[in-house]
């Protein structure tokens, strides 16, 4: 099989898998659609140990009822069952799903976008398919046609990205931020290895603070604390959004810079897409035979 044949296989196989996934969603037989959905409430927050990995997030014990039997279950969640909890307090609620009759296999769902119908997998496959088509376009239509397709893919990424909406929503919440004292109660540690074999150590402090309403919050704080590896027991000021205690920062200026960087990245993708399409169209025009 030649190179173009491999490229065709690259996008035709994922396209077929995506079609099967969408068909299953329409038929209502995907795993999320067959699962039992409910609401889980945090009844206990467990502080992570100092020096452990941040990957499990904040361990919590949640309680939820089986809607078919009315039986209540109290189970511990520590990053293995669904999304990672990064900010927790007693009384916080999350959507929860589990296989019918198997509540111990529950998943906390921090973001249900595309999850209730089981479209997450097919959507990812479609994106990979589009990447394959763009690569194939460079071989079939040359670099001008490939650039036009690449620009179209970048436009799609910008269109479906929620980074700007998230940045605006976070900014609106933090505009009403309230400052309260907080403390670093633990520092997580993760060790990674780069391509040359060197170790990279990443620290993420765990902060605890009490809101003015008396809610005790324990949360991972990935950004905004200088020298995080040496921050254990450090006293600091936490700025949190009264409407959503999970939105907080120890440094408002740093948070503004991070939001601005997210917006700049999306704008850069949009400009790159415009440049790619414009370059491809101009190149095609110059390559047309003169009559």
- Of the listed ranges 12-16, 41-45, 163-167, 228-232, the one predicted with least confidence: 12-16
In this predicted structure, the answer to whether residue 41 has a pLDDT above a threshold of 60 is: yes
Higher-scoring residue by pLDDT: 164, 82: 164
Whether residue 201 is contained in a domain is answered as yes
CA distances from 119 to 23, 27, 165 (A): 10, 12, 21
Q: What's the chain's average pLDDT?
A: 88
Q: What is the pLDDT of residue 62?
A: 94
- Of the listed ranges 39-43, 142-146, 175-179, 186-190, the one predicted with least confidence: 142-146
Q: What is the pLDDT of residue 267?
A: 96
Nearest to 181 by CA among 134, 142, 234, 114: 234
In this predicted structure, the answer to whether residue 111 has a pLDDT above a threshold of 80 is: no
Higher-scoring residue by pLDDT: 291, 114: 114
Looking at residue 214, which CATH number applies to its domain? 2.40.50
Q: Are 186 and 50 in contact (CB under 8 A)?
A: yes
Whether residue 98 is contained in a domain is answered as no
Distance of CA 160 to the CA centre of its chain: 13
The mean per-residue pLDDT over the stretch 70-90 comes to 85
- Model's pTM, two decimal places? 0.85
Give the separation between CA 221 and CA 203, rounded to whole angstroms.
Answer: 10
Alpha carbons within 13 angstroms on the beta-carbon side of residue 278 total 6
Nearest to 178 by CA among 257, 243, 255: 243
Whether residue 264 is contained in a domain is answered as no
- Of the listed ranges 89-98, 121-130, 211-220, 241-250, the one predicted with least confidence: 121-130
- The pLDDT-based confidence of 83 (bands split at 50, 70, 90) is confident
The range of the structural domain enclosing residue 210 comes to 171-255
Q: What is the pLDDT of residue 18?
A: 86
Cα radius of gyration (the chain):
24
Higher-scoring residue by pLDDT: 56, 216: 216
Residue with token string 């690259």:
10
Q: What is the pLDDT of residue 140?
A: 82
152 Cβ contact partners less than 8 Å away, ≥ 6 residues apart: 273, 277
Nearest to 207 by CA among 184, 235, 180: 184
Whether residue 86 is contained in a domain is answered as no
Give the separation between CA 159 and CA 266, rounded to whole angstroms.
Answer: 10
The mean per-residue pLDDT over the stretch 260-266 comes to 95
CA distances from 289 to 284, 285, 286 (A): 10, 9, 8
Whether residue 180 is contained in a domain is answered as yes
Q: How many domains does the chain have?
A: 1
pLDDT digits (tens, 9 = 90+) for 168-187: 999 999 999 999 999 999 99
Whether residue 175 is contained in a domain is answered as yes
Beta strands in the chain (DSSP E): 36-45, 60-65, 72-77, 87-88, 93-98, 107-108, 178-193, 199-210, 216-220, 235-241, 244-249
CA distances from 151 to 31, 155, 164 (A): 35, 6, 20
Percent of the chain with pLDDT over 90: 53
- The pLDDT-based confidence of 288 (bands split at 50, 70, 90) is low
Q: Which structure tokens are listed for 262?
A: 């997210």
Q: What is the pLDDT of residue 81?
A: 61
End-to-end CA distance of the chain: 39
Strand order across the beta sheet in which 72-77 lies: 72-77, 60-65, 36-45, 93-98, 107-108
Q: Are 79 and 53 in contact (CB under 8 A)?
A: no
Burial class (CB in 10 A: 0-12, 13-18, 19+), 227: exposed
Whether residue 6 is contained in a domain is answered as no
- The pLDDT-based confidence of 29 (bands split at 50, 70, 90) is confident
Whether residue 191 is contained in a domain is answered as yes
Q: Angle CA(89)–CA(90)–CA(92) in degrees, nearest 5?
A: 70
């Amino acid at each position: 099989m030649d190179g173009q044949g491999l490229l065709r296989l690259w996008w035709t196989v994922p396209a077929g898998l995506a079609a099967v996934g969408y068909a299953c969603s329409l038929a209502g037989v995907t795993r999320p659609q067959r699962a039992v959905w409910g609401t889980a409430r945090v009844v206990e927050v467990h502080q992570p140990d100092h020096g452990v990995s941040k990957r499990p997030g904040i361990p919590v014990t949640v309680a939820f009822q089986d809607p078919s039997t009315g039986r209540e279950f109290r189970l511990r969640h520590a990053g293995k069952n669904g999304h990672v909890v990064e900010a927790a307090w007693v009384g916080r609620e999350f959507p929860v799903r589990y296989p019918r009759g198997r509540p111990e296999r529950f998943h906390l769902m921090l973001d249900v976008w595309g999850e209730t119908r089981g479209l997450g997998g097919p959507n990812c496959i479609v994106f990979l398919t589009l990447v394959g088509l763009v690569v194939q376009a460079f071989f079939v239509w040359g670099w001008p046609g490939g650039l036009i397709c690449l620009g179209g893919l970048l436009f799609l990424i910008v269109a479906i990205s929620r980074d700007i909406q998230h940045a605006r929503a976070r900014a609106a919440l933090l505009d009403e931020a309230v400052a309260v004292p907080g403390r670093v109660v633990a520092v997580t540690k993760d060790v990674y290895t780069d391509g040359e074999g060197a170790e990279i150590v990443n620290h993420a402090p765990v902060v605890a603070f009490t809101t003015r309403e008396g809610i005790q919050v324990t949360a991972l704080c990935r950004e905004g604390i200088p020298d995080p590896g040496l921050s254990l027991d450090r006293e600091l000021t936490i700025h949190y959004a009264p409407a959503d205690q999970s939105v907080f920062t120890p440094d408002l200026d740093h948070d503004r810079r991070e939001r601005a960087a997210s917006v700049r990245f999306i704008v850069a993708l949009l400009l790159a897409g415009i440049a790619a399409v414009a370059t491809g169209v101009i190149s095609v025009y110059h390559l047309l035979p003169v009559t």
